[in-house]
């Protein structure tokens, strides 16, 4: 399965940026920065409006350790059965030089050749994989005759808040027409042509991370980044068998959200300015790594950074139970889902939406148009009931 890691801390930049980096280091405390993998980066795009998550991820704080110390551990992670099933399915798709994958690429992408080259980048050794990936992608992008078509275990990079994350997509496919496609292999099933929408959305966000990383690489090499298609190839088992099926998934929306969030993480000055200078999320681990900081003190520090809790945080963020408990204590039990909230221009709760609809609540700045639409909807509802 894909493996990613984060480059250990680097020296803080000089000048004005240095104070920002030092402030982020102070937020994290004495522990090294938490590695970002593709799943973690994709989760950033799931809640781009959460200041608490932006600050913690920008500083590299271990949110899982913080949640456990607070008494709100999140039941994340795959079961051993799911991991084994995923490894078996990926091995099936990649068997015999990705022969089964090539069959699906012919169908999904219209690949016009009977056979293609296959490069397993992992064969060169871990310390050379990124350099070898760069060389292979550069050669393919410049139209080399011996450029391979399928790259297994490539290693890409992406800058996350001043640190370098190393990312390994399942496969990068290069079509002879000059387009790169990310191939994402997942073990959730497609039943009668339908898959779990939440699982597909998560896979699309993760694939968008790889698309952005590959486009960044092409741009660094002096090539057109749009040579990387926004259509990724999602490979899943079909029905209740292990026979794989491929589908094209458009990730343009996920790419746009991911870019905005990564840009936000590189300019955290405004969010940092809203925090008292002595605030830190440090767990103060002892020699054995066990947190020693008082729980109430850590909770107060976290509450200093505004959260944007929504029900779908339960599947994307380690701090979800802590933030949910905080929202309940604040009386925000009627929170709207994030998609509805975004469509309503930031209206966060049922009570707020109803107040704008019946005119008992004045709209905030920027909510005037949404309030007008809600009042019209309320008027139509009453007319239908009379």
More confident: 192 or 266: 192
Q: Report the distance separating Cα 173 and Cα 118, nearest Å.
A: 10
pLDDT tens-digit map of 257-290: 888 878 776 667 888 888 888 899 999 999 888 9
Q: Report the distance separating Cα 90 and Cα 84, nearest Å.
A: 10
Q: How crowded is residue 129: how many other Cβ atoms within 10 Å of its Cβ? A: 19
Q: What is the mean pLDDT of residues 242-249?
A: 89
Q: What's the pLDDT at 34?
A: 82
Q: What's the pLDDT at 3?
A: 42
Q: Report the distance separating Cα 384 and Cα 150, nearest Å.
A: 59
Give the model's confidence band at 113: pLDDT under 50 very low, under 70 low, under 90 confident, else very high.
Answer: low
Which range (18-32, 101-115, 221-235, 262-276) has the least confidence? 101-115
* Contacts for 48 with CB less than 8 Å, ≥ 6 apart: 257, 260, 261, 264
Length of the chain: 386
Q: What's the pLDDT at 236?
A: 93
Give the model's confidence band at 367: pLDDT under 50 very low, under 70 low, under 90 confident, else very high.
Answer: confident
Q: Where are the domains of the chain?
A: 2-77+267-309, 80-262, 338-385
Question: Mean pLDDT over all residues of the chain?
Answer: 82
CB 93 within 8 A of CB 235: yes
Query: Exposed e or buried b for every residue in 14-31, given b needs 16+ CB within 10 A?
Result: eeeeeebbebbbbbbeeb
Local structure of residue 291 (DSSP, 8 states): B
Percentage of the chain modeled with pLDDT above 70: 83
pLDDT tens-digit map of 295-304: 999 999 999 9
CB 27 within 8 A of CB 279: yes
Which range (11-15, 45-49, 235-239, 296-300) has the least confidence? 11-15
Q: How far is CA 106 from CA 102, 119, 172, 255, in A?
A: 6, 18, 15, 26
* Contacts for 118 with CB less than 8 Å, ≥ 6 apart: 97, 98, 148, 149, 150, 152
The three-state secondary structure class of 343 is helix
Give the model's confidence band at 72: pLDDT under 50 very low, under 70 low, under 90 confident, else very high.
Answer: very high
Q: How far is CA 264 from CA 85, 162, 258, 267, in A?
A: 37, 12, 10, 5
Give CB contacts under 8 A, 24+ apart, made by 95-98. 97/150, 98/150, 98/152, 98/171
Structure tokens at 243: 């026979």
Q: What is the mean pLDDT of residues 92-109?
A: 83
The string of DSSP codes covering 131-160 is: HHHHHHHHHHHTT-TT--SEEES--EEEEE
Question: Is the whole-model pTM more than 0.95?
Answer: no
Residue 16 has pLDDT above 60, yes or no: no
* Contacts for 144 with CB less than 8 Å, ≥ 6 apart: none
Which range (64-68, 97-101, 176-180, 233-237) has the least confidence? 176-180
Check residue 305 and give left, alpha or beta (phi > 0: left; psi -120 to 50: alpha).
Answer: beta
């Amino acid at each position: 399965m894909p493996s990613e890691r984060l480059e250990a801390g680097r020296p803080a930049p000089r000048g004005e940026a240095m104070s920002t980096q030092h402030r982020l280091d102070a937020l994290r405390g004495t522990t090294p920065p938490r590695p970002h993998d593709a799943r973690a980066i994709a989760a950033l795009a799931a809640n781009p409006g959460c200041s608490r998550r932006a600050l913690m991820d920008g500083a590299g704080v271990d949110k899982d350790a913080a949640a456990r110390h607070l008494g709100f551990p999140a039941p994340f992670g795959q079961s051993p059965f799911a991991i084994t099933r995923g490894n078996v399915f990926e091995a099936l798709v990649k068997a015999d030089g990705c022969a089964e994958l090539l069959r699906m690429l012919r169908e999904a992408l219209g690949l016009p050749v009977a056979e293609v080259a296959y490069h397993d980048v992992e064969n060169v050794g871990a310390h050379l994989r990124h350099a070898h990936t760069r060389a292979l992608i550069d050669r393919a992008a410049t139209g080399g005759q011996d450029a391979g078509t399928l790259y297994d275990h490539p290693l890409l990079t992406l800058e996350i808040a001043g640190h370098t994350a190393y990312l390994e997509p399942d496969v990068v496919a290069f079509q002879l027409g000059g387009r790169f496609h990310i191939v994402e292999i997942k073990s959730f099933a497609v039943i009668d042509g339908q898959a779990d929408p939440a699982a597909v959305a998560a896979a699309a966000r993760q694939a968008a991370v790889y698309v952005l990383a590959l486009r960044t690489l092409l741009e660094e090499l002096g090539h057109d980044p749009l040579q990387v298609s926004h259509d990724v190839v999602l490979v899943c088992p079909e029905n209740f068998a292990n026979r794989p099926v491929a589908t094209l998934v458009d990730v343009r929306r996920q790419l746009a959200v991911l870019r905005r969030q990564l840009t936000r993480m590189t300019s955290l000055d405004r969010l940092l300015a809203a925090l008292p200078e002595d605030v830190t999320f440090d767990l103060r681990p002892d020699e054995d790594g066990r947190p020693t900081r008082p729980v109430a003190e850590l909770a107060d520090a976290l509450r200093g950074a505004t959260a944007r809790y929504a029900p779908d945080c339960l599947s994307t963020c380690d701090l979800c139970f802590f933030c949910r408990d905080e929202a309940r204590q604040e009386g925000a039990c009627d929170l709207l889902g994030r998609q509805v909230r975004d469509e309503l221009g930031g209206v966060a709760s049922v009570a707020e939406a109803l107040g704008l609809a019946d005119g008992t609540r004045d709209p905030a700045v920027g909510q005037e148009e949404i309030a007008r639409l809600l009042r019209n909807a309320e008027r139509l509802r009453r007319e239908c009931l009379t």
